[in-house]
Structure 1
């Protein structure tokens, strides 16, 4: 296929990764961002073996390993009884897989620095509202109705609230989820916690409190943690009106070890309220537009797959453009490559979420007794680990990727972790 002129809507991780991959294939890319300065949004996230494999293909995995925190286990317990509710270990699978918890700022900065170093154009302050087909080109239109650019292909990486996705012929139905979460990135000084585990506490399915070691945003900084507390989005204003001290007291009643984190929060402005929606675009293409990441599919973060699915989308699209004979064939191949993996994990997320974030007493009871017992049996341990890893079905071959040698990566990561700790001490 001849080199294409590609416009990428959104300078988040998916948009930046797409710019890197496609420019290396010889395409001309331009990234358009609505904010005056591209910046990260959110607190912490989990990079799974899927997302790390894409970053490895970009040559950026060593940088992320130096910034992130290795995660070997996902553990959850009932806040009142202490009963284990969730215990998923990556080593239930052969091969040495692990997760990597990172600050969103670390992932953004690593990708953004690579884009700037490569000299790729990033236009900021451009609020896109529509995309139209004219003369065989995809024409982006801004909020004032002016043409923002005409391209052979537009990649929409502008997120779950994307106007391009909502206005497309393939626009999916959106199901706003009842529960969201307050998030904050905080210092870990004085906190007693497992540095290699995502740890959560539950009260039925109505309360979920979590601590995720999230590494550092830049080399030389101290490690931080992402702290979150789930709640009904409709109750957020009521919780704020009741006051910060009352909210803190409720958390301490559930989990006293959180005191060093709560002591750092002096204002509601330090907390971000995340809202979630379930939507799946089928297919993730419309005309000369390809949708990747949350603009194509979004759901609750319960399985920790969001950023990883976005990176897989980008890799699959790049692979399709590299191997197909023409653009129409490439877009069809991209849709086919991601169909099964996206559908499976969207369904799994939709099924799992009510067990951890809902008003259902019955589902919480089943989770704490039946599901927790079944999860301890050997076949289920490996199954849960493959779900968390994002590898229940193979996502790599359809995206033209070879999965990392995790034992080798893990051995190299130990040296990077030590170097980062020594830099902080110095």
Structure 2
């Protein structure tokens, strides 16, 4: 096999584009296939943790991401009925200077998209990938066209990837979200993701999410937790009735909710929990949500995809046949993936579920215990993605 490989990437999301940029920089012929005529982002604002920021540094994108994003130093959640603080994660508990950077997903997408093009990757829109021949390195489109052969095929098509037929556990709770202008009333902390809970059945969140352009206005992303089966009923409910519920949970969101004038202003986000094993099949490798997907409670999705992209590029740069290189990729990422899949599975029902017992325990026991050493440090490590030491394993250095 020659040093210059012919590589296909299915899916122009954050992970797929980052992988394309890294691999094209190594001199490989990289083609990214996306089903949309104009590839674009899907999803709300997100927090780039130190893990994802370190990967962006390798692409030269961290300064731009930090300029357009906003620094996050705390995750803070309050039980609406009692006023108890039931979630309080401070990044500095792990180490001084640590932070997250909240950013609009379209902004992050634009950065990695341009990086992939600049590196020399070819992006082919309007191509829906339906199947892959893992042993031959082939792809089949929705029109029946066969693409390839490729030395390597990267599945970056997300949790509903047709290149995987493994089952996924659809999570019972989803979210409605909207990106809105930052209110001028100062009701929300400028450096914190804030949440309000009523048990585990109702949750609202507000997160600063940066700006679309250097001169643009600051924004926030508003979240409302909703049971998946209740979405149709919510659409049929008069909007003012829902607003009354949301304001009862969190009165300070009135200035935000005034900007929501129709149901269509809120986007319904679906979540699923799945880990695709094996992550590698002959010449086919799964990355990002196509390999591991969870609820957004720990906020690791984009960060994990960026880590996968970097690890894959390091593995491909090694010597040996492709099978050995891809096995090296799995070794680099498997522990971190398993740890965060497990932690997400454990923590999600505490904040989004029909359980009465879990939020009761959360409010009365978990919250006080979380303030006792070493819990603050462990919580900060979880939220920042540091559990399992992925940066050290991948040869990345955190900012100081």
Coarse TM-score class (shorter-chain normalised): over 0.9
C-alpha displacement of 1:254:
1.2
Q: Do the aligned partners of 2:24 and 2:116 also contact (CA within 8 Å) in 1? A: no
Give me the whole-angstrom Cα distance separating, in 1, the residues matched to 2:119 and 2:25.
Answer: 9
Distance in 1, matches of 2:183 and 2:224, equals 20
Does structure 1 retain, via aligned residues, the 8 Å contact 2:52–2:303? Answer: yes
User: In the alignment, is the contact (CA less than 8 A) between 1:210 and 1:227 conserved in 2?
Assistant: yes
**TM-score normalised to the size of structure 2?**
0.97
| 1:411 matched residue in structure 2 | none
Report what 2:236 is aligned to. 241
Which deviations, in whole Å up to 9, do the C-alpha atoms of 1:35-86 show, x marking residues without a partner?
Answer: 0001111111111110111001111100100110100000000112211111
How far apart, CA to CA, are the structure 2 residues paired with 1:365 and 1:286? Answer: 44
Give how far 1:25 is off.
Answer: 1.1
Q: Which of 249, 253, 257 does residue 258 from structure 1 map onto?
A: 253
Are residue 267 (structure 1) and residue 262 (structure 2) matched? yes
How far does residue 95 in structure 1 lie from its aligned partner after superposition? 4.4
User: What's the CA shift string for 1:283-306, capped at 9, x where partnerless?
Assistant: 211121111000001010000111
Deviation at 1:253, TM superposition (A): 1.0
Unaligned runs of 5+ in 1: 407-426
Superposed, which structure 2 residues align to 1:24-423 within 5 Å? 24-133=25-134, 137-166=136-165, 171=166, 173-191=167-185, 192-399=187-394, 401-406=395-400
1:132 shift after superposition: 1.2
Superposed CA offset, 1:374-396 (max 9, x none): 10112100010001111111102
- Please report how far the alpha carbon of residue 325 of structure 1 lies from its aligned counterpart in structure 2 after TM superposition: 1.8
Pair 342,216 (structure 1): closer, same or farther in 2 beyond 3 Å = same
Counterpart CA distance in 2 for 1:189 and 1:44 is 16
* 183-192 or 378-387: bigger deviation: 183-192
* Shift in CA distance, 88/367, structure 1 to aligned 2, threshold 3 Å: same
Is the CA contact 1:179–1:232 (under 8 Å) kept in the aligned structure 2?
A: yes
- SS across alignment from 1:112: helix
Q: Are the aligned partners of 2:24 and 2:120 in contact in 1 as well (CA < 8 Å)?
A: no
| Paired residue secondary structure (1:53) | helix
Q: Give the structure-1-normalised TM-score.
A: 0.91
Tell me the secondary structure at the aligned position of residue 224 of structure 2: strand
Moved segments of 4+, more than 6 Å: none
Q: Which moved more, 1:119-128 or 1:351-360?
A: 119-128
What secondary structure sits across from 2:208 in the alignment? strand
Contact 2:391 2:398 in 1 (8 A): no
Q: How many residues align?
A: 398
